[in-house]
């Protein structure tokens, strides 16, 4: 792939008003060009989740098969009770489409929306819950292996919904480069007269798939979609899943490690950045007595501009990228019997006065797949973390980083 500079089509979209009305989020915004601001637009985001299952993520980075690989549940929406409608008035509840049923740990951090009745013997999927500010809107995806592109539904002004392999940045991961990057179009023609319409991009997607397969499908996978086209965190979502069962040990400890890839978006300015780094997650299956302990470290973090240019970190007035540490807790079920983990992570920095202060904080989520008791397998761990912070390069600007990972033993 060649290297080109990404752009915004000469336009930023400023998010100026958000009003929550029941299950609807009304958003007023103005599209702004280099010299002026245009028409005010009100976006009405109705309760219209449609989850996608990464049924064919295995083909996502290979582009070597033929035809269209769908992982799209079709025209379904949720009614807020975990029941779906198929657009014809027919209702029914399936494990894959029970969108509004939220799983949870006994105490502490709740799991994202997704599988209604997770089990160690079944596949599990999770997707970002709606946060009232545009997060959690990814609703369906269809992959076209011939053209190495996929279609993302339910994100306004992301082109014709078609994401193609990244032009400036096509893969992420400092060593393994195992995560694929996809771009939405920044300009779309008027469907009648062909006039160019600037989109609220850049919309970017990061996709990861397991190196292992179950019945021809990737054993685990994740996708993250974010945009830098708003002076807020903007619209997007993430999803991660396990195909097949998991076997957990009853004693001993285990380490999963590898790389992550992520996207940073901002509140207070537009634009996005890519991130990479190392991540290791340890699990103690013997102790605590009340719960299995989960620990983790995110380290060697790097950041890149949208076009792939490295961003300097660590200096005065530069971006800070210190290690992130999982919070180890006793008495809180951070690992479930079906192989899901969830908890908090954070870090601190030393400010100009020499005092220690909180910097980034957020939540991690994950699902273990495979047989952890089999030396020939060992299992794997797919997941996502989301952290927020004040960006030290600017006054009054906060950042949200969403990172995805697939780790092995």
pLDDT, position 175? 80
Report the pLDDT averaged over residues 195-212. Answer: 92
Question: Model confidence over 60-104: pLDDT tens digits?
Answer: 444 333 333 333 323 333 333 333 333 333 323 233 333 333 334
pTM of the prediction? 0.76
* Rg (the chain; Cα; Å): 21
Half-sphere exposure of 22 (CA within 13 A, CB side): 5
- For the segment 232-253, the average pLDDT, to the nearest whole number, is 94
By the 10 Å C-beta count (0-12 exposed, 13-18 middle, 19+ buried), 117 is classed as exposed
> 28 near 244, Cβ under 8 Å?
no
Cβ-based burial of 280 (10 A; exposed 0-12, middle 13-18, buried ≥19): middle
Q: List, for residues 209-219, the tens digit of each pLDDT value.
A: 999 999 988 99
Predicted confidence at residue 132, as pLDDT, reads: 76
- On the 0-12 / 13-18 / 19+ scale of CB atoms within 10 A, 357 is exposed
Domain locations in the chain?
Answer: 12-408
pLDDT of residue 33: 38
Transcribe 167-221 into DSSP letters: SS--EE-SSS--EEEEEE-SEEE-TTT--EEE-S--EEEEEEE-SSEETTEESEE
pLDDT of residue 377: 97
Residue 244's region, left for phi above 0, alpha for psi from -120 to 50, else beta, is left
Which phi and psi angles does 126 have, rounded to 5°?
-140, 150
Q: How much is the pLDDT for 272?
A: 97
Most confident option among 25-34, 49-58, 102-111, 224-233:
224-233
Does the pLDDT of residue 359 top 80, yes or no?
A: yes
Give the confidence band of 357 by pLDDT, cuts at 50, 70, 90: very high
Average pLDDT, integer, range 202-225: 93
Task: Look at residue 83 in the predicted model and tell me its pLDDT.
Answer: 34
Predicted local confidence at residue 140, as pLDDT: 67
Residue 393's pLDDT is 96
Query: pLDDT-derived band of residue 139, with 50, 70 and 90 as boundaries?
Result: low
Hunting for tokens 């999963």 — which residue is that? 256
Share of the chain above pLDDT 70, in %: 72
Whole-number pLDDT of residue 93: 28
């Amino acid at each position: 792939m060649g290297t080109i500079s990404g752009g915004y089509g000469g336009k930023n979209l400023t998010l100026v008003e958000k009003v929550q009305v029941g299950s609807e989020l009304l958003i007023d915004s103005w599209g702004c060009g280099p010299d002026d601001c245009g028409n005010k637009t009100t976006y009405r985001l109705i309760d219209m989740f449609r989850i996608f299952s990464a049924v064919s993520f295995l083909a996502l980075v290979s582009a070597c098969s033929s035809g269209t690989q769908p992982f799209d549940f079709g025209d379904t929406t949720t009614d807020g009770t975990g029941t779906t409608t198929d657009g014809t008035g027919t209702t029914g509840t399936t494990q894959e489409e029970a969108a509004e049923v939220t799983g949870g740990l006994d105490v502490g951090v709740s799991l994202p929306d997704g599988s209604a009745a997770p089990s160690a013997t079944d596949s599990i999927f999770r997707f970002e819950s709606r946060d009232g500010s545009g997060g959690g809107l990814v609703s369906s995806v269809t992959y076209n292996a011939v053209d190495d592109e996929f279609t993302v539904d339910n994100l306004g002004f992301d082109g014709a919904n078609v994401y193609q392999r990244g032009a400036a940045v096509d893969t992420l991961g400092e060593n393994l480069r195992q995560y694929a990057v996809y771009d939405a179009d920044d300009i779309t023609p008027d469907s009648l007269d062909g006039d160019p319409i600037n989109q609220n991009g850049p919309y970017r997607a990061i996709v990861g798939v397991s190196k292992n397969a179950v019945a021809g499908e990737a054993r685990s996978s994740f996708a993250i979609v974010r945009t830098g086209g708003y002076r807020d965190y903007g619209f997007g979502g993430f999803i991660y899943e396990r195909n097949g069962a998991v076997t957990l040990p009853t004693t001993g400890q285990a380490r999963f490690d590898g790389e992550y890839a992520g996207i940073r978006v901002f509140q207070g300015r537009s634009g996005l950045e890519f991130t990479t780094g190392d991540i290791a997650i340890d699990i103690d299956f013997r102790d605590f007595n009340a719960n299995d302990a989960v620990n983790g470290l995110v380290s060697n973090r790097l950041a890149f501009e949208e076009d792939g240019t490295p961003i300097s970190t660590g200096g005065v007035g530069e971006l800070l990228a210190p290690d992130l540490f999982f919070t180890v807790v006793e008495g809180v079920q951070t690992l479930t019997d079906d192989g899901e983990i969830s908890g908090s992570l954070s870090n601190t920095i030393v400010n100009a006065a020499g005092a220690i202060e909180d910097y980034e904080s957020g939540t991690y989520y994950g699902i273990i797949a495979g047989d952890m008791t089999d030396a020939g397998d060992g299992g794997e761990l797919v997941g996502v973390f989301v952290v927020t912070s004040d960006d030290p390069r600017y006054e009054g600007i906060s950042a949200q980083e969403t990172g995805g990972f697939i780790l092995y033993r």
